[in-house]
Amino acid sequence: MIVSTKVLFEQAYKKYAVGAYNINNAEQVMALFRGNINSKAPFILQLSKGARSYTDKRLLEAMIRAADEIFPEAIFAVHLDHGDEENCYDCIDSGFYSSVMIDASGEEFEENIAITKRVVDRAHEKGVAVEAELGKLGGVEEHVSVSEADAKLTDPEQVEEFVKRTGCDSLACAIGTSHGAYKFSGSQGLHFEVIEKIAELLPGFPLVMHGSSSVPQDEVERINAAGGELKGAKGVDEDEIHKAGKMGVTKVNIDTDGRLVWCRVHREHFRDHPEVFDLRPAGKVFMGEYAKYIEHKNEVLGSAGRLEEVRAAVK
Ligand code: G3H
Ligand code: 13P
Ligand code: ZN
């Protein structure tokens, strides 16, 4: 059942965080649903601009509709990740999305507000929620690359005005993470003092953490042992993710970890079975492994076992 992010956030706020997982293909969709059903967790399925154009947005959306039928017990929201204005309007008008993210975080404060407000006005007319971003994460996404020098933590002084003037429904904050597999060079971690300050200024308002992959070191080692070259890859400590969830970080975005599972499974599979050229055996292993990853992550987030509570709230 596709639901609004609003109901998911109301249920979760300061109790647990909802996993928001990026999806690109059929194997990821199947494993994501299986993993969440197995751990009885509500979840957010998110599609980036790159994911929507990788095969075709209609194919991806049709797969999600099909998964909704295949797994009728699932409760989830469908979200556009890192949209520009054009992507947001496309998703809002489609009637399929629970929420969109307008990412104008690369703009100056006033311009970020103006763009976000335009999207909020149009989204709210159609009952679609909006995630906005204030501050600048470091790291690389398909369409944006922000160097560490340009990354900027969210300024708590700006959050109240930003939320008030834009009317956004949730806020992505830069709190020390970055996108991709190379988040920290040393022992850095989340800036809990920033989370605490923002949550204090915006009580009850759902905060979003991007760049939340934990980059499991055993995955990195296995990838490297099977021919990969991921030197110095490092992610967010899972204890820190759990703690952030109790402080108001209600949506936790994860993409890279899923890619690592995919990479490890396929590298090992073709290393160990050089005679194989069929795509399905490796795809099957991947679906099993990614579902297991989702189950584990939902335990970390605290969303595991919350499905029936949420079902009662949406009835
Ligand atoms: O934050 C970005 C997500 O990891 C999506 O990445 O734009 O390469 O699909 P993508
Ligand atoms: P990771 O690169 O840490 O998985 O972050 C994903 C993300 O923030 C998607 O918006
Ligand atoms: Zn992101």
Q: Could you tell me the domains of the chain? A: 5-314 (3.20.20.70)
CB of 177 sitting under 6 A from ligand 1? no
Report which of 203, 218, 215, 202 is spatially closest to residue 241, judged by C-alpha positions: 215
pLDDT at res. 188: 83
How many angstroms separate the alpha carbon of residue 92 from the centre of ligand 1? 20
Tokens 């209600």, located at residue = 250
Q: How many angstroms does the Cα of residue 275 sit away from the middle of ligand 3?
A: 38
Residue 106 burial (CB count, 10 A): 12
Contacts 24+ apart (CB under 8 A), 110-116: 112/162, 113/162, 113/165, 113/166, 115/85, 116/162, 116/166, 116/168
Question: Is the Cβ atom of 32 under 6 angstroms away from ligand 1?
Answer: no
- pLDDT computed for residue 186 by the predictor: 80
- The tens digit of pLDDT for each residue in 73-82 reads 999 999 999 9
- pLDDT recorded at residue 170: 98
Ligand 2 atom having least distance to the Cα of 137: 8
Do the annotations mark residue 211 as ligand-binding?
A: yes
pLDDT, residue 29, reads: 98
Q: Is 298 annotated as a binding residue?
A: no
The whole-number pLDDT of residue 135 equals: 96
With the C-alpha atoms ordered 57, 59, 63, 65, is the resulting torsion angle positive or negative? positive
Distance between CA atoms of 10 and 132, rounded to whole angstroms?
A: 18
253 labeled part of a ligand binding site: yes
2's tokens: 């596709």
User: Per residue in 57-107, pLDDT tens?
Assistant: 999 999 999 999 999 999 999 999 999 999 999 999 999 999 999 999 999
Residues of the chain scoring pLDDT < 70 = 139-150
Cα first-last separation, the chain: 11
CB-count burial class (<10 Å; 0-12, 13-18, 19+) for 277: exposed
d(CA 182, CA 277): 32
Ligand 2 center to residue 272 CA distance, Å?
30
Nearest ligand 2 atom, CA 183: 3
Return the amino acid letter for 30. M
Q: Are 249 and 195 within 8 A, CB to CB?
A: yes
Contact 214/257 with Cβ under 8 angstroms? yes
Q: Which pair of structure tokens corresponds to residue 242?
A: 């759990």
Residues facing residue 152 across a β-bridge = 136
Rounded Cα distance between 130 and 169, Å, is 5
